[in-house]
Structure formats: C-alpha cells, structure tokens
Structure 1
Amino acid sequence: MHILDAAAIQRLIPNRFPICYIDHVDELVPDQRITATKNVTINEDFLQGYFKGQPEMPGTLIIETLAQAASILILKSPQFEQRTAYIGSIRDASFYKRVLPGDVLRLEITLVKVKANMGVVATHASVAGEVVCSAELHFVVQATAS
C-alpha cells in the first residue's frame, strides 16, 4: 500500500513532468525517514541519448530523485508545511551500480539534523536490495512565494 501517490506528491513538491521522478511513497515517518519508489522505464526521455545504445539513468538524476524524496520528508514536517525545500549542497555522493530500464529504484532518506530552516539528510538508492547510490544532502527551506 502506498502512503502517497503521484497526485499527492505533486501537491507537496513543485516538480512536474518531465522532472517529477517519484512514483509513490511507501513509508513516511515525519521528522525521521521516508521510503519512496521510482520505476525506471525505457520511455524516460533521459534514457534516449545519455549513453547511445546503452540506456542508463544518469547519476545526477539519481541524486535529483533522492532530493525529491527528501523534499517530501522535509515538507511533511509541521514546521515546514506550505514551503519549498532546495538542495544546498551534496556531500559524499557515491555511485556503485548502473540503473537500467526496468529497474525499480528504492529511495531511503533519513533526517539527520535540522537547525532553523536548514538541515541534513542521509540518502540511499537501491535496486533489488543492492545500493546503487548514497549521498548526504544539505537542504534549505524557504517560504513559498504567494
């Protein structure tokens, strides 16, 4: 059972087609952790020309997908409702395996620290139980423009 579907996700974060990468949220513990899913399909625009003849999800987009899941976690915190979260920096990003069409990318984000409107999350992306990417993301939250 999904905690949030694509429509609910779009009510939280500003990302839209073709750059909304989260298909659904599987688990959410506000102010602690989130688990979300991205189904990688051959129809993705970014797979068409990244490595000619060898489609794979670019590492930058894996990080973006992790950041989108982190944004959902952050924005579900009562103190950050009706705001927008941005990546401030990326630390210790490591890529271990390729992400290919047909893979189901499982995203796990844990809130490490929050101070005022900034914070840190630890992230892991995995396919079939094997970690394909990990990174520490620093974020800043700003009020949404009215």
Structure 2
Amino acid sequence: MLDVTGIMDIIPHRYPMLLVDRIMEYESCKRIVGLKNVTINEHFFAGHFPGRPVMPGVMIIEALAQTGGVLIAQEFEDIHEYVIFFMTIDNVKFRKPVVPGDQIRLECEVLHFRRKVCRLKGQAFVDGKLVASAEFSSMLVKRDG
C-alpha cells in the first residue's frame, strides 16, 4: 500500500496532474488498484461544467494510466531515468459521470509487457459501478540530459 508521497516517489506527476491518491493493492507485473478522491477543488471543475461539475473523461483515463504507471515503474530499478508515454488508447468507454465527492477505484491489469513497452486494461469504478474503461499501451523513453 502506498500513500500519495510514495506515489510521487515512483511517478513524476505533481499537482494539478497527479490523479492517484493511494495504491491499495499491487501484484508485481500483474495488477494494481489505486484510489482517487474527487473533490470540488479539482482545477478542471472551474470550466467543466459551471453549475454542474463533471470530471472530464480524459482525466479518468489519465488517472488509470498513472495507476498503471506505478505498476510498471516498480519493475525498473532505474525508472527515474525514464518517462512513460502513451502509445495507444483503445476501446474507451464512459458509462457514468464522475462528480465531486466520488471516490474512484482504479484497477489496471497487465495484458502484455515486454522490455519497455506494456499494454494494460484499466477500469474505473465508483460505488462498485463501472464508470469508465480502456486499454492502453505505453512506452518507457529515456530522459534527455
């Protein structure tokens, strides 16, 4: 189990783009479960949408990707020498709006992992109901400098 400080030790994201608050479960190179507490203070609610705040779907997918990034990053001792970039995002489905006060359970499982390329399946749940899902591929790229 990791708190937000432990997550920041693994992935480079920071406010306002860090979208994972806690890691609840972890199986090396297999699966991971994270949590995101959605509050009205999120920067995107100022414009999405005034009077009816809804978390943008792309931010839910980013939260899933960051959770998956924590999973993959732990497989590399030298992870701080790399950045993880999206390659593809497929089969994206949004099923229910996510609003302030919701807690998103972010579940990712490894579909394929070879060298520095991985493919994950991610599902996001609120109160046990599926709100979004996607499959995504990422690649580790050596940092400049």
TM-score normalised by the shorter chain: which range applies? over 0.9
| 1:138 and 2:140 correspond | no
- The alignment partner of 2:68 has SS state of helix
The 8 Å contact of residues 75 and 84 in structure 1, kept in 2 or not, is answered as no
CA drift at 1:94:
0.3
Structure 1 residues 103-114: aligned runs within 5 Å: 103-114=102-113
Out of 124-133 and 77-86, give the one that drifted further. 77-86
CA drift at 1:137:
0.6
How far apart, CA to CA, are the structure 1 residues paired with 2:34 and 2:78? Answer: 20
Taking only the aligned residue pairs, the percentage that are identical comes to 35
Runs of at least 4 residues off by over 4 Å: none
Give the structure-1-normalised TM-score.
0.93
CA drift at 1:81:
3.4
CA drift at 1:114:
1.2
CA drift at 1:7:
0.8
Q: How many matched pairs?
A: 144
CA 1:137–1:79 in 2, change beyond 3 Å: closer, same or farther?
farther
- The alignment partner of 1:69 has SS state of helix
9, 22, 25: which one pairs with 1:24?
22
Deviations 1:1-31 (A, max 9, x none): xx11111111111111111111010011110
RMSD: 1.3
| 1:118 and 2:79 correspond | no
Task: Provide structure 1 residue ranges, at least 5 long, that are not aligned to the other structure.
Answer: none
Aligned position for 1:91: 90
